[in-house]
Amino acid sequence: MKDHFTRWLPAIAKTPHRRTALSIAGVAALGGLAFGPTALAAPVTSGPHAGAVAAIDLATGKKTVESGLTNGSDKVPDKPHKPGRDKLIPHGVEGAQSRIPLDDAQLANAKAIVKAAKESGVGERGAVIGVATSLQESKLYNLGHLGAYNDHDSQGLFQQRPSSGWGTPDQVTDPDYSAKAFYGALKNVGGWQNLPLTTAAQTVQVSAFPYAYAQWEEQAADIVQQLW
């Protein structure tokens, strides 16, 4: 894994059937790297990188949508038919929280991750872990290969590596496939339902920034609460 990248260049969007993948000619290292579906957790090497939000804005433009998912208050009021906070964040958040606005592409990808959570049987908590993981890995963008600045061969919403057994490049850049692959690996983590979000996500992803996932738990919960 490359240690540091500081340049972000505009993206070229590709729109094949059923998905949209973004390729960036030069990017900073994304927050984590999914080595393989059965990998063990890696030691801490650094904290979360800076400039990720600005870089994604530069790569994709700043189109945002007005919805409670983007820039509302930290907590969305519970509704009778929506999952409660006790299910979404059963252990409380860990540390300071981050929040970014979502555009149409990010919202569509979040919906795909939540849908995959339902179909995979991981429930609301699994959906929160999945959305938070993608927020850290790709800011909910379905990233294609990033050229010379790619983190090895990691791609897609979860930055999964084809060379590590996650699937073909076409598969890991398919939102439904990549989300279900993530959830399949998550279900192999013993007691994942009772683990802090960052521990559950890190055990699957084996990121160089293992504590970075925790900062997205609040926004991920808001997203799942509204989309469930």
pLDDT tens digits, residue range 136-167? 999 999 999 877 666 788 999 999 999 999 99
Question: Residue 14: in which H helix or E strand, if any?
Answer: strand 11-14
Answer whether 8's CB lies under 8 Å from 31's CB. Answer: no
pTM of this prediction? 0.71
The pair of structure tokens assigned to 162 is: 């084809």
Answer whether 173's CB lies under 8 Å from 163's CB. Answer: no
Percent of the chain with pLDDT over 90: 56
Region 118-126 average pLDDT: 98
CA distances from 171 to 74, 99, 113, 226 (A): 34, 28, 15, 27
Separation between Cα atoms, residue 39 and residue 227, nearest integer Å:
30
Q: How many other CB atoms are there within 10 angstroms of residue 12's CB atom?
A: 12
Question: Residue 24: in which H helix or E strand, if any?
Answer: strand 21-24
Tell me the CB-side half-sphere exposure of residue 158, using CA atoms within 13 A.
36
Q: How confident is the model at residue 131 (pLDDT cuts 50, 70, 90)?
A: very high
Answer whether 19's CB lies under 8 Å from 42's CB. Answer: no
Which residues, 6+ apart, have CB-to-CB distance to 205 below 8 Å?
32, 33, 34, 35, 133, 137, 158, 159, 213
pLDDT tens digits, residue range 27-85? 433 444 455 564 433 333 333 334 444 445 554 444 444 344 544 444 545 545 788 98
| Rg of the chain (C-alpha set) | 16
Separation between Cα atoms, residue 155 and residue 153, nearest integer Å:
6
CA distances from 206 to 31, 65, 151, 217 (A): 11, 32, 13, 18
Separation between Cα atoms, residue 75 and residue 202, nearest integer Å:
25
